């Protein structure tokens, strides 16, 4: 995937609903903007926020697999850490539902429906596995921003403002190889 292809895909988020009256492009831009506000020093987390639901655009017929589909698609361009955050963002919801008594109340009606398709609450073994995962704090921050990024009509920076940040991330990925 090239940057042009990635941005064309993100733009197609307007064809998909995240919530009623919040399309997937709005949701992605809100999620990235919230993470930029809350974690200005973590560019990869912001980028993960922007692309976390791209699997839904690639495979709208397979919502349960949207996290892994998106992660596989962005890994070559955006690197391992961004891909891992994308890959686990649905599991992070299952983790928080299981470990944080007040979390379920924050979920939208649609998120509760998809929670069941994604496996529902976690087993003790699954919780322990994710708790030991690297980057758990960032993953949970992505999830909380994801849950908050559903505001009808919120004004946030446009998609093209993210292009320099993403291009920089990719340059670093190629530099490491
Ligand atoms: Fe999302």
Instruction: Sketch the domain layout of the chain as residue ranges.
Output: 3-167
* pTM across the whole model: 0.93
CA–CA separation, 96 and 20 (whole Å): 24
- Residue 176: per-residue pLDDT: 46
Distance CA 64, CA 120 (A): 11
Mean pLDDT to the nearest integer, 152-164: 95
C-alpha 27 to ligand 1 mean position (Å):
7
Q: How many Å lie between the centroid of ligand 1 and the Cα of residue 119?
A: 17
- Label residue 175 by pLDDT band (50, 70, 90): low
pLDDT confidence bin for 177, thresholds 50/70/90? very low
How far, in Å, CA of 93 to CA of 103, rounded? 9
CATH for the stretch 3-167: 1.10.3210.10
> Long-range contacts of range 128-132, CB-CB < 8 Å, 24 or more positions apart?
130/88, 130/91, 130/92, 130/95, 131/95
For 63-111, write each residue's pLDDT tens digit.
Answer: 889 999 999 999 999 999 999 999 999 999 999 999 998 998 888 888 8
Could you tell me the distance, in angstroms and rounded to a whole number, from the CA of residue 51 to the centre of ligand 1? Answer: 9
Q: Cα separations (Å) of 112 from 16, 137, 166? A: 18, 22, 31
């Amino acid at each position: 995937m090239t940057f042009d292809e990635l941005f064309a895909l993100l733009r197609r988020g307007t064809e998909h609903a995240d919530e009623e009256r919040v399309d997937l492009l709005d949701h992605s831009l809100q999620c990235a903007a919230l993470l930029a506000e809350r974690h200005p020093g973590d560019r990869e987390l912001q980028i993960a926020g922007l692309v976390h639901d791209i699997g839904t655009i690639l495979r709208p017929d397979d919502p349960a697999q949207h996290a892994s589909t998106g992660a596989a698609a962005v890994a070559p361009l955006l690197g391992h850490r961004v891909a891992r955050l994308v890959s686990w963002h649905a599991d992070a919801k299952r983790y928080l539902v299981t470990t944080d008594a007040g979390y379920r109340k924050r979920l939208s009606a649609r998120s509760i429906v998809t929670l069941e398709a994604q496996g529902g609450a976690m087993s003790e073994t699954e919780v322990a596995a994710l708790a030991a995962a690297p980057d758990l704090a960032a993953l949970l921050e992505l999830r909380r921003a994801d849950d908050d990024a559903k505001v009808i009509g919120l004004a946030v920076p446009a998609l093209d403002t993210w292009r320099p940040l993403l291009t920089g991330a990719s340059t670093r990925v190629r530099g490491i190889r």
